[in-house]
Structure 1
């Protein structure tokens, strides 16, 4: 699996969105939206972001996204992998700092392709 293959998918969920425009949770969400992706915001502590709904978890989304981007601590990423498997999500993108060996191992066990890279950097390469 390559980063490019994931970037070709047009429906994403960003787990760990933030209202703070300086935080990566906000910046990743905004960058994907600005690049033309369908992006769902996920954070159980928010209800809206820039006028868009924010969902409590992956199961609450109106459709199953093709890729889940994690912008959360590694232990939260690890807890997201089983949710992805349950929802049938096959691609997980871990922002630097959101990844850990356990998350990659869980992804592999669940036949989920996982990558670690900064989506903002990779989108700039397109």
Structure 2
């Protein structure tokens, strides 16, 4: 399994999505939408990002995402990957700045395929 497998999924959640168009939390969210995916923003700060309703956790989503993109600090990322394990989400993409050895170890121990890198650079 590799990063190319993530391109085949249909539904994403972006943990750390933001309405601030200058930040990567917005750029990655918008990029995935532009690529044709169904994308749910997860944000503690915003009720809407663009015209899309934002959710405060993965548990609130109307459907289970096929993959989750983490754009948060490692502490919040650890909480999010634990939620992924509980919800049976098996693909997590970790953006630069969100990675940590603990997150990768947790993913491996819980059968989650976790990859690191920047979606913006790797999927032009």
The equivalences for 1:36-115 within 5 A come to 36-115=36-115
Q: Which residue number in structure 2 is paired with residue 14 of structure 1? A: 14
Once the two structures are superposed, residues 70-112 of structure 1 have per-residue CA deviations (whole angstroms, 9 ceiling, x without a partner) of 0001111111111001111000000011100000011111110
Q: Which residue number in structure 2 is paired with residue 26 of structure 1? A: 26
Q: 1:19: Cα distance to partner?
A: 1.1
| Rounded Cα–Cα distance in structure 1 between residues aligned with 2:28 and 2:63 | 20
Q: 1:55: Cα distance to partner?
A: 0.4
| Rounded Cα–Cα distance in structure 2 between residues aligned with 1:70 and 1:57 | 12
Q: Which residue number in structure 2 is paired with residue 116 of structure 1? A: 116
Provide runs of 4+ in structure 1 moved above 2 Å. Answer: none
Q: 1:122: Cα distance to partner?
A: 1.6
**TM-score, scaled to structure 1:** 0.96
Root-mean-square deviation (Å): 0.7
Once the two structures are superposed, residues 10-64 of structure 1 have per-residue CA deviations (whole angstroms, 9 ceiling, x without a partner) of 1100000111101000000000001101000001221101111000100000000
Aligned length: 124
Q: Which runs of 5+ in 1 are unaligned?
A: none
